[in-house]
Structure 1
Amino acid sequence: MLLTSIDFVIVGGGTAGLVLASRLSEDPTQHVLVLEAGADLSEDMRVKVPGLFSSLMKTEADWGFQSQPQRHLKGRQINLHQGKALGGSSSINAHVFVPPTWNLLDTWDSVLGNQGWNRSSLQEYYAKAYTFPSVDRSLETALGVDGWTSSTPSSASNNGPIQLSLGGTAGHPIREAWAETFRTKGMHMGSNPLCSTSDDAAMIGSFSCLSSIHPKTKERSYAASAYLNPIKDRQNLVVLTSATVERVLFEGADVKRATGVQYKHDGKTHIVSSTKEVIIAAGALQSPKILELSGIGAREVLEKHGIELIKDLPVGENLQDHLVSGTSFEAVDHLETLDDLIRQEPAAVEKAMEEYMTSQTGPLTSIGIRTYAYLPVVSEPGRTIIEKAFLENPPPVGDRRDEVRARAHYEIAKKTLLNPKEPSAAYLSILWQFIFPVDPTSDSPTEPIPGKFLTLGFLLAQPLSCGSVHIGSSDPSSAPVIDPNYLSNPIDAEIMAQHALYLEDIASSPPLSNLLKQPLRRRDPASDITSVEEAKRYVETSSISMFHYAGTCAMLPEEKGGVVDHELKVYGVEGLRVVDSSAVPLISTANLQSTVYAFAERAADLIKQEYGLK
């Protein structure tokens, strides 16, 4: 079906793009076109079956980018995965559905200057995106969610598109052991973290992790299956796959207005016009590329590649991402893990596939991530080291946009990261050996080894290190040049080191320690660290990206380095918005999935209100 008149052209059929397509096409008078570079893989078993998610990496479903060599990670190039399929990264992610710390959302408004973007306005949009799972009261303790029933407000009992579940076998001991271990330490969240109230001063402690896995079908619940498929037959909506947008088109003299886009499909170049808006939703690594190819970006970048300047903006700067590291500890023999699947043992793989295909049970119903914890630096000496790092690494002084933005980020970070009631890392457990990059000077194993393992991982919740993503050529088919600049701020390295050291304490604490062989045995001997300097070296050699990219078309006041305003409109032009993680001004505490859904849901309402849509 072809639309004769397009009101909204959405560039990118990923997580945010499909939320917008679904919501904007609710008004039958509006005609919406989605252009997605990837294919529709909604019937692909690698997408549908939770336990097969890792098989999608570096395939046709993944853009498969790599970073520039990272100076503070021993010169390593880091794999940067981004979904290239209908549903975007929600089609290849690890299903983790966790919230930010709600206090962090308030800083988007109060410190960063984004009017109306705070916990009060956003919590309803988080809830609007998902359906909370029903839990048998008799299983609450085993699932580590005792106390959630009374703390979950009625607003969470909704019918949002994304179907959540507490993935995996209910009787597995990891959730209860995790909850009791942190409860003993006085760091357990007794309430549902997705439904924290405005009275909560902080979100510190452990909790059971919800997954975007349908509780009945045991399949991935994501943007394509949940937002698009139920409404894909609407006559006013067209979704075109394998369509790569090359640039936005503009008209006008003094003030430019976006009038459409140029894209390539089936080897041919096409142009489509929009009567209302072009909305860029290509993700934090691709949206900057499309803007720069269209003439919106830093003057020096565009001049270098011979592109006519439409508007000078710091597009592609402020790239933020979560680094993750951790340690795999050998588990007791009776613990159920996914290690035999990681080793691709034929009998185990065959059995798991049979269980899943015949009864939607078994190890493939989850990927073994069932618990999380939001934690500060716990030790007093560690907090002293972090305080010193802040004193020794002040933000830049000056009036340049990047300097003003850096000071705002520093203000937020200092207030939160030095507060023992605010997290500086998110911890998770993984029921299989995770093969982090190994120190090339060590004898560490680089392939799966025999045995059962429980991995304790941690990610840097609020990095101060920011990077960039820019075009390296005026050729639309060229990959962007991505430099996350990991650990360039020494404060980040100090915080990562402290959390690396704390893994030993967690692994040694009962009842979690009862799931591990004693004395503790590590898969990688290099992870046996006892000093801050050893911890820093391990972080530098082992850390990888969690693929949580944000901030490259930041929603900020223009004087603070913003690319879009608080209505997500690109400064200096008309008819153009950016709605995806690139517009998120400050990275979420942990996984971005829930935040991108909420961000897009609110954006859809802002657009509807402006045009008086249903």
Structure 2
Amino acid sequence: MGRRHRNPLFNPLQYATPQLPTGPPVSWAAAQRELVGYDYVIVGAGAAGCVLASKLSEDKNVSVLVLEAGGDNTKVFETKVPLLFSKLFHTPHDWDYYTVEQPKLASRSLYWPRGRIIGGSSSMNAMMYHHCAKSDFDEWASKYGCSGWSYDDLAPYFRSMERFTAHPDHAIDTQHRGSSGNWETGYSSLTKIVEEGFLRGCQDAKIPAVADVNTPQGTLGSTRFQTFIDPKGQRSSLATAFLSPDVLQRQNLFVACHAYVTRVLFDCLTTKEPRAIGVEFQTQRGGQRFQIHARREVILCGGAVNTPQTLLLSGIGPADELKNHKIPIVQDNETVGRHLKDHLCTSPILAKAKPGTTLDYLNNDLKALPALARWMLTGGGPLASNIGEAAAFIRSSDYHFPQTVQAPRDHTSGDVGPDLEIIGAPIAFIHHGAEKAIDGSNVFTLIPIALRPQSQGTVTLRSRDVFDAPIIDPNYLSDDGDNDRKVLLVGIRVCLQIIKSAAFKKFLEPIPVNDNPTSYWWPFSSSNIENITDEQLVRFMDEKAFTLYHPVGSARMGPSPSTSVVDSECRVHGVKSLRVMDASVFPEQISGHPTAPIAAMAAKLSDMIKERNRAASLVNASL
């Protein structure tokens, strides 16, 4: 492995070989002889990459290298303060992606933030700790042939990873919570308008309260969110949990920042199937390329956008697309970059609240100083808010409104699976938090989210240059029968019911009789909200809808290479020694927030890899 680096987050050039003048290695033996090597090379230090790196490097007899395109999370203040997560958007820590124009959303190109930092999006997005519905994972096993990935298979990993801190004001049955893991979870700051306005308003709207949505009983109901915010009020990302300073000091673990993997290297001569033998990377556009050998496996953990991009750049994907970019075909697979699904939100429903009831005052630097001082001294106060403090999970087919002609069809994963989420946030969350409330208003935001979309999109190459963002087309609202839109229309109308509730109205400013479209009572233009038509809501949705940052499925898991990219052990079909672990392998979209499932899946995969290695060692020992 060479000498030990002093800085755990080292320069990637320190342990790599410049690209050989004669081109890439053509065999495993040549790579082993001529390149710096590690047992496992993990591409991407996102949610899954952090867990895999930590778990695999527990074995002192193997070496693990992680290549991350972003930088060190520990030096970025905004990654620590929960309320400031949106301040990381459009910064060097964000891939800052945009979709192609969406015909069903007023031909808008939508912003897609993705974490380019150690910890990935777990270091950048909101901190919802959510297992999702049991039936989501059972559907993977029963409907999509992904044996070993049911809820019962994942439940032990959910518990073993978690270190749950109970809250004195929110008692739950802790039998389903873990207490000895690395990942800090619990109940963080809760604003009064959320607790007494939104959550009670949900109950007024016939959405029952549920204390803990992270149990086998399911997600349905209204609830205070569990978060991955630690008792000190700081974000507990999968980087802080699994790439902690003591883990980074392991002599067999290496984490390199600012390394952009240009392709996976394959031996196409020695074995019948191509074998991944390493990766090639650059540190800057047009710069020199470097190569690293993987003695055992390469594991892609780049997420639903970057993983399919890496596969395509490496010659794995639809043959026609590879030929168009003059990329040599290693393995033809029409599924790479297909079946992309995302959670789409309608425009935020903004209700004007009474002065002092929301957190919008924190946009004023002077007024925010006491809150900052409190957080730095105690870890408490409004800066420890997750913004999305509570939510309601419902089934759209349970609701019928006289204004709506056609009800949506049921595409939930099972009887306890929702297809709608409504987030309650005590702040104006407009344009991903970039826009402040007008005139210093206090605003409460309700966000309806379609959890089980039927629309499918694609991730394709823009060019052969890894520094050119891929083409992202989520193809929003394109499903047959327009069911995704119908689900969201139900979500908006349920939001209006919550707003009209007696409990919530206590916190809101009265609607002016002659209200105007520029007020913060979107989407109302009058006080008679019952008369709003579907057509008006559709226009509102088309102009303002946005992503909730949950793309999945672009390298999905399944038994057949004709419909999937990886098998049930996350091995890429048709090649050896190459796996994928991130949200791209999800066979179907889940009905909630994906960070906890990704972490549990990565932990499970690490055990699968270790077990396979133990079995191979026993076979070799017996020969």
Return the TM-score normalized by structure 1.
Answer: 0.87
Q: 1:500 aligns with which of 461, 478, 492?
A: 492
Kept in 2, the 8 Å contact 1:496–1:536? The answer is no
Contact 1:189 1:206 in 2 (8 A): yes
Q: Is the 8 A contact 1:470 1:481 kept in 2?
A: yes
**1:533 maps onto 2:535 in alignment:** yes
Q: How does 1:181-200 map to 2 (within 5 A)?
A: 181-194=201-214, 196-197=215-216, 200=217
Aligned residue number for residue 464 of structure 2: 474
Return the letter of the residue paired with 1:508: K
Question: Does 2:502 match 1:510?
Answer: yes
- Structure 1 590/414 Cα, relative in aligned 2: closer, same or farther at 3 Å? closer
Aligned match of 2:241: 226
Offset of 1:357 from its aligned partner? Answer: 2.4
* 8 Å Cα contact 1:501-1:531 kept in structure 2: no
SS in 1 for 2:389: strand
Give the distance between the partners of 1:174 and 1:351, measured in 2 at CA: 22
Give the aligned residue type for 2:472.
I
Separation (CA, whole Å) in 1 of partners of 2:135 and 2:59: 34
Local SS of the residue matching 1:456:
strand
Q: In angstroms, what is the RMSD of aligned CA positions?
A: 2.4
Residue 14 of structure 1 is matched in structure 2 by: 46
Whole-angstrom distance in 2 between the partners of 1:560 and 1:104 = 23
Q: Deviations over 1:457-504 (max 9, x none)?
A: 111111001100111111222110110101111110111112112211
8 Å CA contact 1:288, 1:315 repeated in 2: yes
Instruction: Measure how far apart 1:427 and its partner are.
Output: 0.9
- Deviation of 1:384 (Å): 8.6
Matches of 2:562 and 2:155, distance apart in 1: 25
Quote how far apart the aligned CAs of 1:125 are. Answer: 1.7
The 3-state SS of whatever aligns with 2:264 is strand
Report the counterpart of residue 488 of structure 1 in structure 2: 478
Which one of 255, 258, 281 corresponds to residue 242 of structure 1?
258
| Paired residue type of 1:459 | I
1:89-488 equivalences in 2 (<5 Å): 89-136=121-168, 139-140=169-170, 146=171, 148-149=172-173, 152-153=174-175, 155-169=176-190, 172-194=192-214, 196-197=215-216, 200=217, 202-215=218-231, 217-229=232-244, 230-253=246-269, 254-265=272-283, 267-313=287-333, 314-325=335-346, 326-335=348-357, 337-341=358-362, 344-377=363-396, 378-381=398-401, 390=409, 414=411, 416=413, 422-436=417-431, 448-488=438-478
Tell me the residue number matched to 1:408.
none
Distance 1:362 1:181 in 2: 24
C-alpha contact (below 8 Å) 2:319/2:329 kept by paired residues: yes
- Distance 1:44-1:546 versus aligned 2 partners, 3 A rule: same
The one-character-per-residue Cα deviations of 1:252-306 (angstroms, maximum 9, x if unpaired) are 3331000000012374321111111000001110001111010000011100000
Residues 1:76 and 2:108 are matched in the alignment: yes
| Aligned length, in residue pairs | 563
Q: Is the 8 A contact 2:160 2:178 kept in 1?
A: no
- Between the aligned partners of 1:527 and 1:474, the Cα distance in structure 2 is 47
Structure 2 stretches lacking a partner, 5+ long: 6-14, 16-35, 618-623
Which of 54, 57, 73 in structure 2 is aligned with 1:25?
57
1:41-56 → structure 2 map (5 Å cutoff): 41-56=73-88
- In the TM superposition, residue 386 of structure 1 has moved relative to its aligned partner by 5.3
Deviates more, 1:547-556 or 1:183-192: 183-192
**In structure 1, distance between residues paired with 2:561 and 2:268:** 25
- Counterpart Cα distance in 1 of 2:48 and 2:413: 28
* Normalised TM-score (structure 2): 0.85
Alpha-carbon deviations, 1:58-102, whole Å to 9, x = none?
A: 100000011000000000000011000111111111111122111
Residue 400 of structure 1: aligned partner: none
**SS across alignment from 2:290:** strand
Distance change in 2, residues 1:31/1:383 (3 Å): farther
* 1:410 aligned residue: none
Query: CA shift at 1:162, angstroms?
Result: 1.7
CA distance in 2, matches of 1:346, 1:189: 36
Deviation at 1:233, TM superposition (A): 0.3
Q: Residue deviations 1:99-123, cap 9 Å, x none?
A: 2111121100111111121111111
**For the residues of structure 1 that align with 2:210 and 2:163, how far apart are their CA atoms?**
21
Q: Distance in 1 between matches of 2:588 and 2:402?
A: 25
**Does the 8 A contact of 2:561 with 2:573 survive in 1?**
no
Helix, strand or coil: the match of 1:175?
helix
Counterpart code for 1:285? V
CA contact (8 A) 1:551 1:587 kept: yes
**Aligned letter for 1:514?**
K
Cα distance, 1:350–1:135 mapped onto 2, change above 3 Å: closer
> Percent of counterpart pairs with the same letter?
30
Q: Deviations over 1:203-228 (max 9, x none)?
A: 3211110111111x211110221110
Instruction: Pick which of 16-25 and 371-380 moved more.
Output: 371-380
Letter in 2 for 1:515: F
Q: Is the 8 A contact 2:68 2:255 kept in 1?
A: yes
